[in-house]
Structure 1
């Protein structure tokens, strides 16, 4: 087999292949023999029909099978014997093929990018100096108390921090909301709606205007719908709410005592404090490790440049667009508004997709060079964890992943984590105070 390779574009190769006449004839003989063995023709026992009759009867099928077998062998040879890293076959063109002739064909292939790995050991990164303090623990305990808050109905005017239970109907510039935006049913009207008396609950300015209100009172709340409101028909427009106050409720926090600790499964208050501290320390370690890994990935991206295969970028872009649209839909953004923003969504998805595809190739090459692999046991453990998270049997999840050819994604995720572990172990880490961290990487309090 003669093979010549020509680069016709970044990550695209034109491969010329010639299979010698002898190999073509040998393959014809093999295929004809197979057809004779399984041919069922009138007047002959299975497998006993004369060769010339079988050839005439199945001439076109035999020719097609030989052609496909030779092309498949050519591709297998390219993958196994050449140094090409083939992602997909874009096109196959047969230039010559017949009995007594050599097969000549052109393969247009998309390949992985060609690049030299940058120096990836000893990458300089910064790690924030931060520890869990007693104040952090007390703040976390206060949040636990907030999770167990009890709201008690009171007979007094509403004050800051209270919750007011209301019925309301809304208009936009004097028109019912549903006339302006038929999809905005929850904004148009609600009954038994809980709103906190502050500037953050529901719409900005709504709760504040209920300060001093008592049960049985009616109030008119006037405000501007936020300009970033999901429905563009309402965003930035003045709204008026006719509000009937049903109840005023005061939040009552549980006492921080032994009984409270036991409600969270701790033996006593000190045990609860110790558990909270451990959780905060684990959370902080995760954040600080993420700081380091973000810097490592940035460093890799900056240290090497190469062209990317467009099919990989297109696939990753589609996935990113899907994730962005799904997240916006969960946030209540209307389909109309998503459609209006489709160009900016695509641009953002394309940028992030190119970075992810580039990093995937770099990390894959590092894994190959360092002999970093993923075992079947590691994949099974990850599937068990994922199954527990989604509350489905591991066997069912495994079957689903196999049917969707998605096991490779689990493999890639584990391999990526192992490569990042390796890079972090070999990085030059400088411990610095928070104000010396790269922009956007300093942690909030744990």
Structure 2
């Protein structure tokens, strides 16, 4: 077997291979025997048909199988002798191939990146010193109360904290807003629109100007759109909203008592408080873990630099762009605005994709080094957790994974978590006060 490898670009090689005729004939003979064992030809029992009939019947399939088998053996030789791992082959050209002939082929091979693992044990990270306080519990209970708020119509002027139900039409510098900004029809006019009577509700400067208004009142609300407003046609421009107040509603919160707790499934208020505290402690534990892992990933990525395969980066970039566009659309960002920002979206997606691909290679290399594998119980535990989280039947979830050919992706997620567990166990973690945490990593109250 003669193999030559020439570099074309990072992670891309030109490969020429030649396999001697004797080895080609041996591969043909072995493959023919395999086909014979499974062949059921008329007049012969399975596995008993003459070799020449089997070869005549399956000549194309046998030839294709032998060619594939020999190329794969060449790739194993390349990995063994040159340390190059193939990701995919392109432009495969078979120059010579057949019984009694050597196999000669040339192709382009995209390879995994070549790099030395950095020191990954003892990575530094800071963990915020935080605990769940009584104030945290009371804030969470207040959130639960507000989730069960009721609104009662009142015959009085609107006060801070009330809801004003209004009809409005808007103009920008005397022109109907609908004409100025066709991409923002919901801002042009509305009927039966609910607005909190408080500072900057709905739009900056809007909600607070409804203070003191009552049903039947008409008001003109003047405001200035912020310079960074999502609709460029409105950014930085003054607007006037002609408002008719239809109703004023006050918010009515349920009392924080045993009955409130029972409505939520708790025995009494003390039991509800205890349950809320447990939930907050579990949430804090999760956040602190993510806080540490974010730093470990960053430290790992910064310790080594290597070129990445273009095809993997391109695929991950497209996937990330789709994810960003879908999330923006779900937030109500118009298609026109997304189109205008497509270059910025692409650049952000590209940077994210490169880090994801790089981390994936590092994770798999560490897993190999430390013999970390995904066992059946790891997969079963993942399925059980995801099924409980989404309320699905575990068996149906497994069927969905298999139907979507998503098993490698799931295994990759599980492997990454196991490697990050390993890195965390061997990290140098320093517990520090909130004001000593890296910018952007502190946990909000």
Residue of structure 2 in register with 1:74 after alignment: 71
Which deviations, in whole Å up to 9, do the C-alpha atoms of 1:137-160 show, x marking residues without a partner?
Answer: 222222222222222211111111
Residue of structure 2 in register with 1:225 after alignment: 225
Residue of structure 2 in register with 1:133 after alignment: 133
- Contact 1:128–1:442, Cα closer than 8 Å, also in 2: yes
Q: Provide the C-alpha distance between the structure 2 equivalents of 1:29 and 1:421, rounded to a whole number of angstroms.
A: 49
Q: Provide the C-alpha distance between the structure 1 equivalents of 2:256 and 2:32, rounded to a whole number of angstroms.
A: 86
Shift of 1:165: 0.8
Shift of 1:339: 1.2
Shift of 1:388: 4.4
Shift of 1:420: 1.0
Residue of structure 2 in register with 1:201 after alignment: 201
Shift of 1:201: 2.1
Residue of structure 2 in register with 1:157 after alignment: 157
Q: Provide the C-alpha distance between the structure 1 equivalents of 2:274 and 2:341, rounded to a whole number of angstroms.
A: 48
Q: Please state whether the residue corresponding to 1:151 is helix, strand or coil.
A: strand
Q: Please state whether the residue corresponding to 2:439 is helix, strand or coil.
A: coil
Shift of 1:6: 3.5
Q: Provide the C-alpha distance between the structure 2 equivalents of 1:203 and 1:66, rounded to a whole number of angstroms.
A: 70
Which deviations, in whole Å up to 9, do the C-alpha atoms of 1:112-134 show, x marking residues without a partner?
Answer: 11111111112222111121222
Shift of 1:380: 3.2
Shift of 1:392: 4.3
Q: Provide the C-alpha distance between the structure 2 equivalents of 1:323 and 1:32, rounded to a whole number of angstroms.
A: 48
Residue of structure 1 in register with 2:9 after alignment: 9
Residue of structure 1 in register with 2:382 after alignment: 382
Residue of structure 2 in register with 1:259 after alignment: 259
Which deviations, in whole Å up to 9, do the C-alpha atoms of 1:198-222 show, x marking residues without a partner?
Answer: 1232111111111110111111222
Q: Provide the C-alpha distance between the structure 2 equivalents of 1:178 and 1:116, rounded to a whole number of angstroms.
A: 59
- Contact 1:195–1:202, Cα closer than 8 Å, also in 2: yes
- Contact 1:156–1:214, Cα closer than 8 Å, also in 2: yes
Shift of 1:50: 12
- Contact 1:91–1:108, Cα closer than 8 Å, also in 2: yes
Please state if 1:352 is matched with 2:349. no
Please state if 1:147 is matched with 2:144. no
Q: Please state whether the residue corresponding to 2:265 is helix, strand or coil.
A: coil
Q: Provide the C-alpha distance between the structure 1 equivalents of 2:26 and 2:128, rounded to a whole number of angstroms.
A: 68
Q: Provide the C-alpha distance between the structure 1 equivalents of 2:49 and 2:296, rounded to a whole number of angstroms.
A: 68
- Contact 1:169–1:189, Cα closer than 8 Å, also in 2: yes
Q: Please state whether the residue corresponding to 1:87 is helix, strand or coil.
A: strand
Residues 32 and 425 of structure 1, relative CA distance in 2, 3 Å threshold: closer
Shift of 1:389: 4.1
Shift of 1:7: 3.2
Q: Provide the C-alpha distance between the structure 1 equivalents of 2:28 and 2:74, rounded to a whole number of angstroms.
A: 19
Residue of structure 2 in register with 1:243 after alignment: 243
- Contact 1:39–1:54, Cα closer than 8 Å, also in 2: no
Residue of structure 1 in register with 2:320 after alignment: 320
Range that drifts further, 77-86 or 7-16: 77-86
Residue of structure 2 in register with 1:21 after alignment: 21
Residue of structure 2 in register with 1:442 after alignment: 442
Range that drifts further, 166-175 or 330-339: 166-175
Q: Which runs of 5+ in 2 are unaligned?
A: none
Shift of 1:413: 0.9
- How many residue pairs match? The answer is 438
Residues 241 and 402 of structure 1, relative CA distance in 2, 3 Å threshold: same
Residue of structure 1 in register with 2:402 after alignment: 402
Q: Please state whether the residue corresponding to 2:8 is helix, strand or coil.
A: strand
Residues 50 and 3 of structure 1, relative CA distance in 2, 3 Å threshold: closer
- Contact 2:17–2:74, Cα closer than 8 Å, also in 1: no
Q: Provide the C-alpha distance between the structure 2 equivalents of 1:246 and 1:185, rounded to a whole number of angstroms.
A: 21
Q: Provide the C-alpha distance between the structure 2 equivalents of 1:30 and 1:411, rounded to a whole number of angstroms.
A: 34
- Contact 1:230–1:332, Cα closer than 8 Å, also in 2: no
Q: Which runs of 5+ in 1 are unaligned?
A: none
Q: Provide the C-alpha distance between the structure 2 equivalents of 1:113 and 1:31, rounded to a whole number of angstroms.
A: 34
